[in-house]
Chain A
Amino acid sequence: MTFSIAALELRRLFLSPLAWSMLAVEQLILAYFFLIGIDNYLTLQPRLAAMAGAPGITDLVVAPLFGQASIFLLFAVPMLTMRLISDERRGQTLSLLLSAPVSMTEIILGKFLGVTTFFLILVVMIALMPLSLLLGGHLDFGLFAAGLLGMVLLTASFIAVGLFMSTLTAQPAIAAVATFGVLLGLWIIDWVGAGRSGDYGGLLGYLSILRHYASLLKGVFNSGDVIYYLLFIATFIILSIRRLDADRLQH
């Protein structure tokens, strides 16, 4: 049942111009970043060739590209997750799901999977750019895979927050703004501790959604980072289920 809901969610996304334009804009912007990265690399290449143990193209082009992709995702995810529940509530289509023999968990997981599938397509399209370098060179696949995993986990975390915000309101715009606020807040939360090595810098640093991504982009596969994202996703999915269930109880 979860998959039926996810499939419809994905289908409806592609019936709206928003999804297509998002994919188009993403390709344009990130292709430009990719071009800049390649260009810089080509300028540096003579000097790198002389260095022993110099960083390769994966460090200098792919990791920054994935880093820049996260900025794009920060803007893109709230725009697609905002309508998940709130739009159904406003259009009064939610009762179709609520009077069908489907549990709240299945509804929320279906919605989550539907949008996540869309963003997986987007992530694959981003990954195709560095893969095109294989035509004339080779990549550090360990680093590439760690970065890709990081991007998938980061995106899924963004979506989980967006889904939860969407269950809170009947106004998609409010859900989008709230999602953006929370994500940006988690993005900059460790900036206060930057430059100092205080205790609270450590906690805020742990909470920072980007720091775990940064370590994956460096190729450091720390299970703590992966667990952070998985816990983050699970928390917001459970909160969403609880919130949708509470809908029946009070108004």
Chain B
Amino acid sequence: MSDTGDLIRLEHVYRYYGHTCALDDVSFTVGKGEVLGLLGPNGAGKSTALQIISGNLAPSAGQVWINGIDLLDRPTAAKAGLGYLPDQPPLYRELSVDEYLAYCARLNRIPAQQQRAAAATAKERCGLTAVGRRLIGNLSKGYQQRVGIAQAIIHSPAVVILDEPTVGLDPLQMREIRALIRELRGEHSIILSTHILPEVQAVCDRVQIISAGKLLLNDTIAGLQLRMRASSLVVGLRRSPPSAELEGLAGVEAVEALEEGRWRIHYVPEHSPAEALALAAARHDWGLYELIPERMSLEEVFVDITRSDPTEQAQGAAA
């Protein structure tokens, strides 16, 4: 599996809690230097997936490879290439940041003479140099989160798994953490789960939407942006023609009158009538003052994808 260059590979992973199916046939890969965003509503199975990849949870069925090593067959070897920040950072509150990171360095089998340097690098990258001697329990939530990230990257693992890394942070701290994630991407593969949509657009290369344990979408950010391009325009005309004339333009499917001479024009995807419309407006002196291509927000795409699925399932069950 190592020859494919994928640092993370999941194949047909299932996970059941009793009779509840938390993950249902999930397969995906993450390549080197890639940042994968795992999106999904609460209880969708994001954390379960990350726990399985980090070796905290065994899948009910299926296989996981980290850096080409089977996580279930050789867990210790596979975990050496893995850094994990759970949704709650695993911190010992009574230790100082320095003590804690020194312990993490030892735990991750960094050679003794490199441990100090590794801890210093991790601290510097996470902006913790000034708080090294303070007790973790006395740090603010944002700093605790950073210590959690420092712990995950201290041994420069090939794979970094971050479960909702910016939850509970203020906007400034969020930006710093995102900047850090972007900085890390160079040498690591990163999976992060989140329910904050702009975060995905800001830092991820690829997006997976997961809902009710199923992988619904696996797309690049560019692909997602393509999905976000809706097929409608809003035009504002000072001297509106009858709607029939607008409908007559090439590619137009439907025309909807809005207030004050504004119209929404739905068109056949990939056949925007914007150019033809501007030309016609100039020729017939309609007084064009506004021409806006409409876009769906990521939120709408997300709602669209996660919502359509249960109905499909219901239909499947009925049949």
- Name the distance in Å between B222's Cβ and chain A's nearest Cβ: 32
B56 at the interface (CB under 8 A from A): yes
A235 at the interface (CB under 8 A from B): no
A95 to B77, CA, bound (A): 17
Contact of A93 among B75, B83, B92, B99 (CB under 8 A): B92
A251 to B55, CA, bound (A): 15
Residues of A within 8 A of B106 (CB): 1, 4
Q: Which positions 1-42 of chain A face chain B at CB distance < 8 Å?
A: 1, 4-5, 8, 11-12, 15-16
A100 at the interface (CB under 8 A from B): yes
A12 & B95 in contact (Cβ 8 Å cutoff) = yes
B80 at the interface (CB under 8 A from A): yes
B-contact 0/1 string along A67-108, CB 8 Å cutoff: 000000000000000000000000111111111111100000
A248 & B56 in contact (Cβ 8 Å cutoff) = yes
Residues of A within 8 A of B104 (CB): 96, 100
Interface residues on B, range: 20 to 34
B109 & A101 in contact (Cβ 8 Å cutoff) = yes
B94 & A15 in contact (Cβ 8 Å cutoff) = yes
A249 at the interface (CB under 8 A from B): yes
- Name the distance in Å between B168's Cβ and chain A's nearest Cβ: 15
Interface residues on A, range: 20 to 34
Contact of A100 among B86, B95, B107 (CB under 8 A): B107
- Name the distance in Å between B4's Cβ and chain A's nearest Cβ: 23
Counting chain B CB atoms within 10 Å of each CB, the highest count among A93, A94, A100, A251 belongs to A100
Q: Which residue of A lies closest to B77 (CB)?
A: A101
B88 at the interface (CB under 8 A from A): yes
Residues of B within 8 A of A93 (CB): 90-92
A78 to B183, CA, bound (A): 47
B76 & A103 in contact (Cβ 8 Å cutoff) = yes
Once A and B bind, how many residue pairs between them come within 8 Å at the CB atom?
Answer: 67
Contact of A98 among B56, B80, B88, B92 (CB under 8 A): B56
B-contact 0/1 string along A100-127, CB 8 Å cutoff: 1111000000000000000000000000
Q: Which residue of A lies closest to B107 (CB)?
A: A100
Residues of A within 8 A of B86 (CB): 92, 95
Residues of A within 8 A of B55 (CB): 98-99, 248
Q: Is the interface of A mostly helix, strand, loop or mixed?
A: loop
A-contact 0/1 string along B210-246, CB 8 Å cutoff: 0000000000000000000000000000000000000
B82 at the interface (CB under 8 A from A): yes
Q: Which residue of A lies closest to B51 (CB)?
A: A95
Q: Which residue of A lies closest to B54 (CB)?
A: A99
B56 & A102 in contact (Cβ 8 Å cutoff) = no
B107 & A102 in contact (Cβ 8 Å cutoff) = yes
A96 to B108, CA, bound (A): 10
Residues of B within 8 A of A12 (CB): 92, 94-95
A106 to B116, CA, bound (A): 23
Residues of A within 8 A of B286 (CB): none
Contact of A99 among B77, B84, B92, B95 (CB under 8 A): B84
B302 at the interface (CB under 8 A from A): no
Residues of A within 8 A of B108 (CB): 100-101
Q: Which positions 4-33 of chain B face chain A at CB distance < 8 Å?
A: 17
A99 to B64, CA, bound (A): 14
Residues of A within 8 A of B46 (CB): none
B107 & A16 in contact (Cβ 8 Å cutoff) = no
Contact of B109 among A1, A94, A96, A99 (CB under 8 A): A1
List 5 A-B pairs, minimum CB-CB distance, nearest first: A96-B90, A99-B84, A101-B80, A93-B90, A248-B58
Query: Which B residues form the contact surface with A (CB < 8 A)?
Result: 17, 51, 54-58, 75-77, 79-80, 82-84, 86, 88, 90-92, 94-95, 99, 103-104, 106-109, 151
20 cross-chain CB contacts under 8 A: A4-B103, A4-B107, A8-B92, A92-B88, A93-B90, A95-B51, A95-B90, A96-B90, A96-B104, A96-B151, A98-B54, A98-B56, A99-B84, A100-B79, A100-B108, A101-B77, A101-B109, A102-B79, A248-B56, A248-B57
Query: Which A residues form the contact surface with B (CB < 8 A)?
Result: 1, 4-5, 8, 11-12, 15-16, 91-103, 248-249, 251
For the complex with contacts A98-B56, A99-B55, A99-B56, 12 further pairs of A-B residues with Cβ separation under 8 Å are A4-B107, A5-B107, A92-B90, A94-B90, A95-B51, A95-B56, A95-B84, A98-B54, A99-B82, A101-B77, A248-B55, A248-B58
